[in-house]
Amino acid sequence: MSETLYTIEVEVNGKTRTGQVPARLSLVDWLRDELRLTGTHVGCEHGICGACSVMLDGEPVRACLIYAVQAHGHRVTTVEGLARPDGHLSVLQDSFCETHGLQCGYCTPGMLIASQALLDSNPNPTEEQIRDAIGGNLCRCTGYQQIVDAVQLAAKRMKTK
């Protein structure tokens, strides 16, 4: 018996994208395999590591725990959507580079999404608030301090812009 497919329409990084998806396809698999937005990474696939983080209507979520059909009618932002319209790195992305907030980079898309969502809602976070915001995102390389430094630098730069 062939699997039932559902039509979805999702605003992804400012563009309307449509798809025909089975009910059990995860959002991260749809983004990566169908839309080829491979910046969003897949780690644990059960909600622990945060590598698959995207924003859903501005809130950070784990795209491995959400079905693509659940994103129907919503707005999704992936790491590809964080760059400036001219393709240059965003203030936050640039700050990660400057403070060495990444090494292997596997966690980085999720870290950027979690950090950007924090700065969008709180442009002047304390160190504790930054650590809390990235607390659900695992990094094996950096020891986290450089990531915290990156978010603090980005907040400072955004304030003086």
Name the site residues for ligand FES (rule: CB under 6 A).
42-45, 47-52, 62, 64, 102-108, 139-142
- Tell me how far apart the alpha carbons of residues 161 and 156 are, in angstroms, rounded to a whole number: 9
Minimum distance between the CB of residue 61 and ligand FES, rounded to whole angstroms? 10
- Measured CA distances, 23 to 15, 39, 72, 75, 134 (Å): 22, 23, 12, 19, 30
Residue 161 Cβ vs ligand FES, minimum distance, rounded to whole Å = 27
- Residues whose CB falls within 8 Å of the CB of residue 135, separated by 6 or more in sequence, listed in order: none
Minimum CB separation of residue 24 from ligand FES in Å reads 16
Q: Which is nearer to ligand FES, 42 or 158 (CB)?
A: 42
Q: Name the packing angle between helices 108-121 and 145-159 (round to 10°).
A: 40
Measured from the CB atom, the residue of 97 and 104 that comes closer to ligand FES is 104
Query: What's the min distance (Å) between Cβ of 12 and ligand FES?
Result: 18
Q: Which is nearer to ligand FES, 20 or 140 (by Cβ)?
A: 140
Question: DSSP label at 67?
Answer: B
